[in-house]
Amino acid sequence: MTKKHTIILQPSGSRGQVDEGMSVRSAARELGVEIESICAENATCGKCMVLIEEGRFEKYNIDSRRENVSPVSTEEAAYFARRPKLLKDKGWEVGQVRLSCQCKIRGDVLINVPEESRGNKQIVRKSATERAIEVKPAIRKYLVTMTPPNLERPIADWERLAKGLETSMALVRGTEEKLPRWYELGIDYQCLRTLSKTLREAKWNVTVSVWQDKEVIEVQAGYVEDSYGAAVDIGSTTVALYLCNLRTGEMLAAESEMNPQIVYGEDVMSRIQYAIENPDGLEKLHKAIISTLNKLLKQAAHEAKIKMSEILEMVLVGNSTMHHVLLNLHPKDLGLAPFVPTIHRSMDIKARELGLHINPSGNIHVLPTIASFVGADTSAMIVAEEPHKQDENWLLIDVGTNAELILGNRKRLVCTSTPTGPALEGAHVEYGMRAAPGAMERIVIDENTLEPKYKVIGVTGWNTDHAEFKGQVKGICGSAIIDGVAELFRAGIVDSRGKFKQGLDSKRIRKGESGWEYVIAWAEETSIGRDIPMTQQDVRQIQLAKAALFTAARTLLNRSGLESPDKIILAGGFGSYIDKEKAMLIGLIPDCELDKVYAVGNAAGDGARIALLNVEKRNEIDGVTRKVERFELPTDPEFQNQFMLATSFPHMSEPFPHIAHLIPNRKADPMAKNFMSK
């Protein structure tokens, strides 16, 4: 019998067992991942390049090694020998990078399929929202005209410029403003090194960029009006960058890319674990994100037709793990009790220290973190949504593999976080996949006939709108998983405990390899040639994820003495695509008036953009985050009881009046009082 080995493909997260000796490209196809080729696998096009990742991947229980694929063949060596520049630009070495059509599986291996090799490119769902932002940037430009030095007044270049700058700043801003005197101004060392040359070449007529009214970070010849900045949201899955004009506030480019760290772990805990277990783990994670940021900066600068050196500031946000890895701070204490970050407060660092390819004297501002798993992305969400200025109690939820929650109003804000696992994003669900062409994004089940209909990304309308619907679907993405589970419950196929009911008259309900399941798409409708069901196991995964999220929300409500929030704000790409009624029907979110539930898209990215364009918001958020009260869920005595109650649809004891009409045959659950009385 042919030996089998485990292969994991990232960033898709596809995994499975394949036969020894199979080429990596064929194995990927078998697991539903298409890798490009235009040379019929002749080792000449290079479109099929993949990276063999090395290290221990505890989560998958594999040791991935280069020796676990066949040695570099003569054809591959010849191909790479013709491409030294490509290898240099990408920082790859032969053996790490392989032609997937040539190398053969010999053991367990984790393979990273780079963007350019992917057959079906991912749709990255992160976009900036239109928001009114008052533009008060940290960087201002001033034109300074000086008299050249002479023997009577041989004042040094910097002092001459600083005195001229003091006059220009007062003229531009008005003398009533509190401005520093010339001797209080500083100059960045890198900028100082070219100062004499610039002043002379510019004939003593220059534009000076001053950061926060205290430090000169750039001196340009003549009159220059604009400077630029970038706001970045580093998510565990996606990195989104917005390039803005710092004078007008206009957004000039928006770029996004999958987070390359995904090859080292899908969620933050597995990345922390990777950094702990591999001596060079942190370095690999850090370099991966810095190189992606540089790539996005380059693309954005190209799009906006500016030089990267004209970008003078960046504001970066991300969850606590992304924050630490970005700053090259070891994240191990975030994952170990008592779960403390290295730093909470916001930071300003020179771009050159992080190796970011903007102006080397440019500033990198990182928003503050709030708790071990409530990071700078949540701070940015607060900047964007401003719950601290409301009279009503708002509940803000950023849904992802880790959910962060903030509840409160102008008087008090409380926060917590909970791991929800990757199930809500389509992983760990048998036919789950990320939002990409071929993924189901909506599912409805007729409660009378028990027949489904669904929508697929990349195809217009419902599958039932097309007379012939064949070969279009290959999996279920996060929004459809919520839909699917909610519809199974609403149509009476699964009960409030999430169990499949017996004896229903539908050929779609059957006993599969892992228990009861409901077939949403028959094999002929799919591109994978297999029926796509939702299984008992899938329902269970969603129950655990939604119970974790609901329990976190309930804990915050209880701690605030509230029954329900006045308004629920769902942030993050996932929140934008879920059907709020269905999310409430399965009890993913607490009961609330449905028209008071809003999806706000990438609020963290918007918050980063606001903090980039308005420096006052940075001080404001520093003050707000210092006062936010944090709750760690596992230490809450009620946690286990609440979690058990929350595994039912929508909940074992809470009434959910706003979606009660959708709940099939709801009776008071006799189990509820057992848990309630504990």
Residues near ligand FES (CB under 6 A) are 37, 39, 41, 43-48, 99, 101
Rounded Cα distance between 127 and 573, Å, is 8
**Sheet bearing 439-445, strands edge to edge:** 452-456, 439-445, 475-476
**Residue 110 beta carbon to ligand FES: minimum distance, rounded to whole angstroms:** 20
Q: How far is the CB of 308 from ligand FES (least distance, A)?
A: 32
CB hemisphere CA count around 459 (13 angstroms): 23
Tokens of 398: 């950023």
**Which is nearer to ligand FES, 114 or 355 (by Cβ)?**
114
**What 8-state DSSP symbol labels residue 69?**
B
Which strand (E) or helix (H) includes residue 74?
A: helix 74-81
Shortest distance, CB of residue 626 to ligand FES, whole angstroms?
55
Residue 634 CB contacts under 8 Å (≥ 6 apart), including other chains:
none
The encoded tokens of residue 30 equal 């078998």
Nearer to ligand FES, 80 or 274 (CB): 80
Please report how close the Cβ of residue 77 comes to ligand FES at its closest, in angstroms.
13
Nearer to ligand FES, 73 or 641 (CB): 73
Q: How many CB atoms lie within 10 A of CB 182?
A: 17
Q: Kindly report the length of the chain.
A: 678
Q: Which is nearer to ligand FES, 48 or 520 (CB)?
A: 48
Least gap, CB of 44 to ligand FES (angstroms): 6
Cα(144)–Cα(194) distance, rounded to whole angstroms? 17
> Is the peptide bond between 655 and the residue preceding it cis, with omega within 30 degrees of 0?
no
CB neighbours of residue 294 within 10 Å: 15
User: Shortest gap between Cβ of 79 and ligand FES (angstroms)?
Assistant: 7
State which H helix or E strand residue 581 sits in. Answer: helix 580-585
The residues facing 510 across adjacent strands are 517
In angstroms, give the least distance from the CB of 26 to ligand FES: 11
Find where tokens 């565990």 sit. 236
**If you ran DSSP here, which 8-state letter would residue 595 be given?**
G
Nearer to ligand FES, 45 or 192 (CB): 45
Q: How far is CA 241 from CA 310, 346, 462, in A?
A: 16, 19, 33
Closest approach of ligand FES to the CB of residue 293, in Å: 30
Q: Please answer whether residues 387 and 598 qualify as being in contact, where contact means their C-beta atoms are separated by less than 8 angstroms.
A: no
Closest to ligand FES by CB, 22 or 396:
22
Q: Which is nearer to ligand FES, 114 or 664 (CB)?
A: 114
Q: Which residue, 101 or 111, has its beta carbon nearer to ligand FES?
A: 101
Say if strands 413-419 and 629-630 run parallel, antiparallel, or are unpaired. Answer: parallel
CB of 478 to ligand FES, least distance (A): 32
* Six-digit token string for 113: 């399929």
- DSSP collapsed to 3 states, 635-677: HCCCHHHHHHHHCCCCCCCCCCHHHHHHCCCCCCCHHHHHHHH
Pick between residue 31 and residue 143 the one whose CB is nearest to ligand FES. 31
17: CB partners within 8 A, 6+ apart: 4, 5, 6, 7
**What minimum distance in Å lies between the beta carbon of 117 and ligand FES?**
9
Of 100 and 346, nearer to ligand FES (C-beta) is 100
- What the block records as the tokens of 124 is 């990255």
Q: Is the peptide bond before 664 cis (omega within 30 degrees of 0)?
A: no
The separation between CA 177 and the C-alpha centre of its own chain, rounded to angstroms, equals: 40
Could you tell me the smallest distance in angstroms from the CB atom of residue 522 to ligand FES? Answer: 32
Pick 14 or 117: Cβ nearer ligand FES: 117
**What is the rounded distance in angstroms from the CA atom of residue 63 to the CA atom of residue 131?**
47
Residue with Cβ nearer ligand FES (48 or 621): 48
3-state secondary structure of 17: strand
- Give 208's strand partners: 142, 219
H or E element, residue 512: strand 509-512
Whose tokens are 């010999």? That residue is 106
Orientation of helix 639-646 relative to helix 670-677, angle to 10°: 170
Using the minimum distance from each CB to ligand FES, give the nearer residue, 48 or 427: 48
Six-digit token string for 290: 């810095």
Residue 502 to residue 510: CA distance in whole angstroms: 10
Nearest distance in Å: CB 114, ligand FES: 13
Closest approach of ligand FES to the CB of residue 78, in Å: 11
> Which C-beta is closer to ligand FES: that of 37 or that of 535?
37
Report, in Å, the least distance between residue 50 CB and ligand FES. Answer: 10
Q: Closer CB to ligand FES, residue 38 or residue 172?
A: 38
Q: Report the SS3 class of residue 489.
A: helix
| C-beta of 80 vs 264, nearer to ligand FES | 80
Q: What's the rounded Cα separation, in Å, for the pair 161 and 217?
A: 13
Report in angstroms how near the CB of residue 118 gets to ligand FES at its nearest.
13
User: What's the min distance (Å) between Cβ of 29 and ligand FES?
Assistant: 12
